[in-house]
Amino acid sequence: MMLREQCGSNFYNIKIIKHQIKGDQKMITQNSQSSQSSQSYKNRDEPQKHQIINLDYQSSKPVDERVIQHMIPYFNQIYGNPSSLHTIGDKAEDAMAKAREQIAHFLSVLPEEIYFTSGATESINLALIGYAIRNRRKGNHIIMSEVEHISQHNLAKYLEKNGFVVSKVPVDQYGKIRIDKLRKRITEKTILISVQYANNEIGTIQPIKEVGEIAAEMGIAFHSDAVAAQGQITLNPKQHHINLMSISSNDFYGPKGIGVLYLQKGYRVSPLLIGGGQEKGIRSGTENVAGIVGMAYATKLLEEHQAEEVERYKSFQKKLQNEILDSVPHSYLNGHPKERLPNNSHFRFDGIEGESILLMFKEHNIAVSTGSACSSKTLEPSHTLISTGLLHEEAHGSLEFTTGRFTKEDHISKAVELTPKIVERLRAISPLYSKTKVI
């Protein structure tokens, strides 16, 4: 029974988030009482009182307090059901329409192409299962890359059980999809190609434009998971021939539990949730108005700050990569050296194991992530790292830093200072390091 439960939960986990999130929750209640929204943007601290330095923004982000302030009236003042015909309902409907327009503006798409969901997982499910079922008359073949988020690999298994054929396209040693191999996998029965905007683990930016052009040329629908890329690079699905795109609110400092599927006009999906016909029948269920408003406001903040934030992330990235690769012998960068998300620095070190690295950082109140098997629920190393050609033992020795809105220069300095010490300490007790070359 125990084993079965574990297996069940494996499907939804790629990494385990090791740091304490309790602090974040506490700060939400604190900050909603005090109004600090006038505080200047640059002086904001990550709202945590007992300083845990978060260098694992990829796993989770705090909700920006300005977003929280903006959401509060929608819990008890403008609380209506948008479907209701009276004024209370109208107010909620207006708020939702405005939010939809804002998000459409952010993505340079039409408001009617925005569908609200409960988050990226649901958006991706709707895109893959919904599209496959609705269009099965045209064919039963779907193509995705080897380095998609684990949720897509599990969806592939589900689709295969239900009569679809899924082909996976390999990537090069930097995690970039092989365009030549993608072309070769297309058949007459291919109905959908799904390739992420950028990789969530190693940060490699995918050649989305080329994939989109191939899909458009062959008349195949193209879905992109933009969760890792959002907030880092400007998303523009129309420019890249993306017909379906999944994004989540929390990944740009909005609330959890809300996301969007962009579905280009003229493309159809079958609903996965059947009910009262909300979201044009594509996604039934009373709308999460507060979440929708919060997500929209988060995109607004991002429109104002993205350029400045990205510059900051780039300087952090430069410091992390230059100094760690310099100070640690036998250390390597995973992912693409240049074409990568500015907030992502992903390393590997010979002879040591990632969970131990993570625990050492935890001792110093720094939250980091790893692709090691020992830290995953499946005890399997990261499929992304393996897809780039790494051996299991190399994938075990990986360390990922992702920076975010509240990362400070001194957080980076601390990580840069600690990393060589932690690596050295673990190597001193490792039987593998001195024998990295077994000869």
Partner 1 sequence: MKSTKYSEKVLEHFRNPQNVGTLSGENVALGRVGNPTCGDIMEMYIKVEDNIIKDIKFQTFGCGSAVATSSMTTLMVKGMTLDEALKVTRKDVAEELDGLPPIKMHCSNLAADALHEAIKNYKAGILVEQPESIEKPIENKSILGELEYLGKGVYYSITNKDYFKDQRVLIRYNGDESIRAALELTKITNRVIISTSSTKIHTDDKELKTQLRNSNVKILTEAKILAVMGDDEVEKVRMLDLDEDSEYDIFVDRLVLLNTVSIPPVCENV
Q: Is 396 in the site for partner 1 (CB under 8 A)?
A: yes
The neighbouring-strand residues paired with 345 are: 401
- CA 151/CA 319 separation, integer angstroms: 32
Interface segment toward partner 1; rule CB under 8 A; list 51-59, 69-77, 127-135, 427-435: 427-435
We find the least distance from the C-beta atom of residue 48 to partner 1, in angstroms, to be 20
Find the binder of partner 1 among 165, 186, 386, 418 (CB under 8 A). Answer: 386
Residue number with CB closer to partner 1 (62 or 397): 397
We find the least distance from the C-beta atom of residue 429 to partner 1, in angstroms, to be 5
**Window 173-202: residues binding partner 1 (CB under 8 A):** 173, 181, 184-185
Q: Is 37 in the site for partner 1 (CB under 8 A)?
A: no
Residues in CB range of 91: below 8 A, 6 or more apart: 78, 80
Q: What are phi and psi of 140, to 5 degrees?
A: -130, 20
Find the binder of partner 1 among 120, 215, 290, 358 (CB under 8 A). Answer: 358
Find the binder of partner 1 among 11, 18, 28, 154 (CB under 8 A). Answer: 18
The b/e string for 311-339 (b: 16+ C-beta within 10 A; e otherwise) is: ebbeebbebbbebbeeebeebebbbbeee
**Window 113-142: residues binding partner 1 (CB under 8 A):** none
- CA 338/CA 174 separation, integer angstroms: 10
Q: Is 7 in the site for partner 1 (CB under 8 A)?
A: no
We find the least distance from the C-beta atom of residue 59 to partner 1, in angstroms, to be 13
**Are 180 and 203 spatial neighbours (Cβ–Cβ below 8 Å)?**
no
| Cβ neighbours of 380 (radius 10 Å) | 15
The neighbouring-strand residues paired with 260 are: 116, 247
Structure tokens at 296: 């929209």
Residue number with CB closer to partner 1 (36 or 173): 173
- CA 206/CA 220 separation, integer angstroms: 18
Q: Is 389 in the site for partner 1 (CB under 8 A)?
A: yes
Q: Is 110 in the site for partner 1 (CB under 8 A)?
A: no
Q: Is 207 in the site for partner 1 (CB under 8 A)?
A: no
Residue number with CB closer to partner 1 (91 or 383): 383
Q: Is 431 in the site for partner 1 (CB under 8 A)?
A: yes
Interface segment toward partner 1; rule CB under 8 A; list 49-57, 271-279, 314-322, 382-390: 382-390
- CA 422/CA 13 separation, integer angstroms: 27
374 catalytic? Reply is: yes
We find the least distance from the C-beta atom of residue 11 to partner 1, in angstroms, to be 16
Residue-by-residue DSSP string for 65-81? HHHHHHHTHHHHTS---
Interface segment toward partner 1; rule CB under 8 A; list 24-32, 156-164, 168-176, 281-289: 168-176
| Cβ neighbours of 270 (radius 10 Å) | 16
Residue number with CB closer to partner 1 (340 or 405): 340
Residue number with CB closer to partner 1 (356 or 419): 356
Closest to 175 (Cα-Cα) out of 319, 320, 337: 337
CA separation (Å) from 200 to 110, 205, 272, 426?
Answer: 27, 10, 25, 27
Do β-strands 398-402 and 165-169 pair in parallel, antiparallel, or remain unpaired? Answer: unpaired
Interface segment toward partner 1; rule CB under 8 A; list 79-87, 124-132, 301-309, 372-380: 372-380
- CA 371/CA 355 separation, integer angstroms: 9
Q: Is 355 in the site for partner 1 (CB under 8 A)?
A: yes
Angle at 80 between CA 77 and CA 98, to 5 degrees: 90
SS3 content of the chain, % helix, strand, coil (to 5): 45, 15, 45
Choosing from 374, 379, 391, 428, which is the catalytic residue? 374
We find the least distance from the C-beta atom of residue 438 to partner 1, in angstroms, to be 5
We find the least distance from the C-beta atom of residue 157 to partner 1, in angstroms, to be 17
We find the least distance from the C-beta atom of residue 412 to partner 1, in angstroms, to be 24
Active site residues: 374
Residues within the interface to partner 1 (CB under 8 A)? 2, 6, 16, 18, 146, 167, 170-171, 173, 181, 184-185, 351-353, 355-356, 358-359, 363, 372-377, 379, 381, 386-389, 391-394, 396, 428-433, 437-439
